[in-house]
């Protein structure tokens, strides 16, 4: 398989407005571990988030798991806890209209990669080659998912 790197994502903290950490330039996992953590229930997602804390000897206060990223954002915006995410949709408001505070994490953490993969044993069609080029150009020209 050939992998084409399209973008790398840094994790960031999601906080409700008025949170004690909201005025900081960046927050650490140790600081976040002192507050209730809301994760999504996708198997690899919640385990990865917990592993980020555990790798530093931290045991976060697990408050809730949600069925979707948007419900997680809404729970944070409504003050039920904090979260860590690699994803940042356009706009810093939850679906119910409340603002969210996004802060970079000060810990050196692994990046998540957005990659496009294809089987090298199969010859790519012209459309597939064009799609790869358009995808690379789009990600190169857009400042996506940045906190």
- Check whether 147 has a pLDDT greater than 60: no
Give the pairing type, strands 83-85 and 12-16.
antiparallel
State the total domains in the chain: 1
Q: How far apart are CA 71 and CA 106, in angstroms?
A: 25
Q: State what percent of residues in the chain have pLDDT above 90.
A: 60
Q: Give the C-alpha separation, 95 to 62, whole Å.
A: 23
pLDDT average, residue stretch 135-143? 88
93: left (phi over 0), alpha (psi -120 to 50) or beta: beta
pLDDT of residue 80: 95
At 146, the pLDDT band (50, 70, 90 cuts) reads low
Q: Is residue 27 part of a domain?
A: yes
Is 130 a member of any domain? no
Expressed as residue numbers, the domain containing 49 is 7-104
Digit-coded pLDDT (tens) for 32-50: 999 999 988 877 777 788 8
pLDDT 10s digits, 53-94: 999 999 888 878 888 888 999 999 999 999 999 887 777 889
CA dist 9 and 16 (Å) reads 22
Domain CATH number, residue 29 = 3.40.190.10
The model carries a pTM of 0.81
CB 82, CB 63: distance < 8 Å: no
């Amino acid at each position: 398989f050939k992998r084409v790197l399209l973008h790398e994502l840094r994790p960031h903290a999601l906080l409700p407005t008025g949170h004690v950490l909201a005025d900081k330039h960046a927050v650490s996992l140790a600081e976040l571990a002192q507050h209730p953590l809301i994760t999504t229930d996708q198997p690899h997602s919640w385990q990865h988030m917990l592993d980020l804390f555990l790798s530093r000897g931290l045991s976060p206060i697990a408050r809730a798991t949600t069925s979707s990223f948007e419900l997680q954002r809404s729970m944070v915006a409504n003050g039920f806890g904090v979260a860590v995410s690699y994803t940042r949709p356009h706009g810093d408001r939850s679906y119910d209209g409340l603002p969210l505070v996004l802060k970079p994490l000060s810990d050196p953490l692994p990046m998540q990669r957005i990659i496009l993969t294809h089987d090298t044993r199969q010859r790519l069609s012209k459309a597939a080659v064009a799609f790869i080029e358009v995808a690379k150009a789009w990600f190169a020209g857009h400042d996506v998912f940045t906190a």
